[in-house]
Structure 1
Amino acid sequence: MNASTEKVFVVGGGIIGTSIAYYLSKRGLSPVVIERSDIASAASGKAGGFLARDWGIGTVTQHLHQVSFDLHEDLAKELGIDSFRRLPTLSVEGGKPKGRQQKQSQASWLDGEIRQLKVLDTGTAQVTPAEITRALMDAALRNGAALRNAAVTGVRTEPKDGGGRRLTGLCLEGGEVLDAGTAVFAMGPWSSLAGDWLGVPIPMEGVKSTSIVYSGCDSARDEPFALFRLPP
């Protein structure tokens, strides 16, 4: 790929799309991110941001877990991410204590009836997803990337020597067509749309879930823990 001539389009302004744009811009390219709404407007801005370095041990994604965790920590320093913090994770079982309830030495702000409280892992961390996603985009823009607010509705292709087809354009809502020879589709669950455009099955669909954000009390901010609750 010739960094001086090749234009890469990245469709989607979530954590994956902005990460790709950031690292392409560091290699001397000028990627164009196309986002139909705002940066980090979907799952990348609403997730819990919980990171666990060793929770993939023994699986095919073990190395990915570890590299990803370390990379988040490096990016926090590189991009000035204020919300990144290492914190231990506790396992909490609610319910009436079997004996006399002792005041826990960890997470002293945790109230209610607690049957059991124990350390689950210390190699964990948390980051605000929207902050790191926007920081990646801002850094990419400083490096020469561009951001286009538009919705991609399809692609244009043409036959390729030796068989198959190659990308020639991205169709935007409203009828505009961008000349494009290289594109990355990083649209989260909407990436299945790209499968329809390209004639490639992408077995992906969105699943609704609930995320609740509470205003933290001072004691929780001063003594941060991630909690995994076991049913009583």
Structure 2
Amino acid sequence: MTGRTADVAIIGGGVHGCSIAWHLASEGVKTVLFERDYLSSGASGRSAAGIRRQFGTTVNCRLSIYNMEKFPVLQDELGYGADLEYDPSGYLWIAYSETQLRQLKKNVQLQNSLGIDSRILTPEEIREVAPHLDTEGMLGASWNEKDGHINPHTLTFAYGDAARRKGAEILTETEVTGLKMVNGKIRGVKTSRGEWEVGAVVCAAGPWSVDVARWVGLDVPITPERHQLLVTEPVERMKHPMTLCLDDGSYWKQCPNGTFLLGWGNPEEKKDTSYESSWQFLEEVSKRVLAKMPILQGVRVVRQWTGPYDITPDQQAIVGGTPVEGFYIDCGWSGHGLQFAPSVGRIMSEIVTGKHPFIDVSMFRYSRFEEGDLFFEPACI
């Protein structure tokens, strides 16, 4: 494979890369996507796969409105045969201190002002939407019954397959080894299967975007952070939404197949892209979740895995162009990126093709770090 050409090359076969490929190919742009392993093999396929409108910044709320409008119809729109498992079973953020509750109220006030129908629940109301929770110590929660779950693998595959049908080349098991520049402009991609001449590159490689950006002399301020999850055997479906506890960073949900997915935002977690799991996580997440939902006592754990977050200094994404002509980035989502694939795939396609993005994401610009213009997303675990 030598001497091939494309208008745009995408690095990274996660859900963002595949969504960008589909949007570009739908506009007639000759597109190639490179993935060194298989589609969804990185952070996308290892995601807890929550989808929500409950954010604390205007831009993320606006993007999430679009995302949540798309998820119910996306399977048909992409023409995908398998189930995306869209499941609007609700999303519950629980406060254990007055400070946490004030922030949730502030988030909900913003959400309501933008047309998002989230609301604050009392402990009694929490028991109504999640009757198996032990509400001891809970002061309140923010709640949206339309938030929920989607399958991260089928979502990624759906975008990838649809991109292929639109003419994009999706090359898995193809590692990008370098970029070619001429007079400060992107002109080509070097891969394990040969070189490509391209007009632009979109880097959607999560925490590995740091290494890609170094090839063109850019320092992307991302810290990789290992996050672990475990999944249980399937049990009978019960009334229980995605639950996030602000006291200790634990979170869990029941998936459509009856399994429970458990996670914990350990502040001492390793800062790397390792796929190693730990016994400490198994013990700590089980202890935290069982204390709040004792009905899960005795449910067996099936497996455990890890996936890397790409954390920026303000826990906000980096989206758009860079000082290097023809080099674009979509990374730094800090753990909440999967659900933004519909909106940001469209936006990156618009930016690369010189159009005005349908939602302003200029606050996600690469230069904000040097400018000291950080803005923090408070709704993160």
* Post-superposition offset of 1:118: 7.0
Contact 2:8 2:198 in 1 (8 A): yes
Larger radius of gyration: 1
Contact 1:12 1:34 in 2 (8 A): yes
Whole-angstrom distance in 2 between the partners of 1:202 and 1:17: 18
* Post-superposition offset of 1:6: 5.4
1:87 pairs with one of 64, 86, 89: 89
Deviations 1:175-209 (A, max 9, x none): x3222222211111111112211112211131111
The residue matched to 1:219 in structure 2 has which SS? coil
In the TM superposition, what are the counterparts of 1:45-84 in structure 2 within 5 Å? Answer: 45-56=45-56, 58-79=57-78, 80=80, 81-84=83-86
Letter in 2 for 1:184: V
In the TM superposition, what are the counterparts of 1:161-180 in structure 2 within 5 Å? Answer: 165-173=184-192, 176-180=194-198
Whole-angstrom distance in 1 between the partners of 2:29 and 2:64: 28
Contact 2:90 2:148 in 1 (8 A): yes
Contact 2:6 2:196 in 1 (8 A): no
- 1:42 is matched with 42
Whole-angstrom distance in 1 between the partners of 2:160 and 2:128: 41
Per the normalisation by structure 1, the TM-score is: 0.77
Cα–Cα, structure 1 residues 27 and 93, in superposed 2: closer, same or farther, change >3 Å?
closer
Contact 2:190 2:196 in 1 (8 A): yes
Q: Which runs of 5+ in 2 are unaligned?
A: 97-126, 248-291, 293-381
Q: Which runs of 5+ in 1 are unaligned?
A: 95-103, 160-164
1:205 pairs with one of 223, 231, 252: 223
Deviations 1:9-31 (A, max 9, x none): 11110011000011112112331
- 1:132 is matched with 155
* Post-superposition offset of 1:148: 1.4
Deviations 1:26-74 (A, max 9, x none): 1123311100001000110011111121423x54433223223223333
The residue matched to 2:232 in structure 1 has which SS? coil
The residue matched to 2:225 in structure 1 has which SS? coil
The aligned length equals 209
- 2:29 is matched with 29
2:213 pairs with one of 170, 195, 200: 195
Which one has more relative contact order, counting CA pairs under 8 Å at least 6 apart? 1
Cα root mean square deviation, aligned: 2.8
Are residue 181 (structure 1) and residue 205 (structure 2) matched?
A: no
Cα–Cα, structure 1 residues 93 and 193, in superposed 2: closer, same or farther, change >3 Å?
closer
* Post-superposition offset of 1:117: 9.8
Whole-angstrom distance in 2 between the partners of 1:188 and 1:106: 34
Contact 1:76 1:84 in 2 (8 A): no
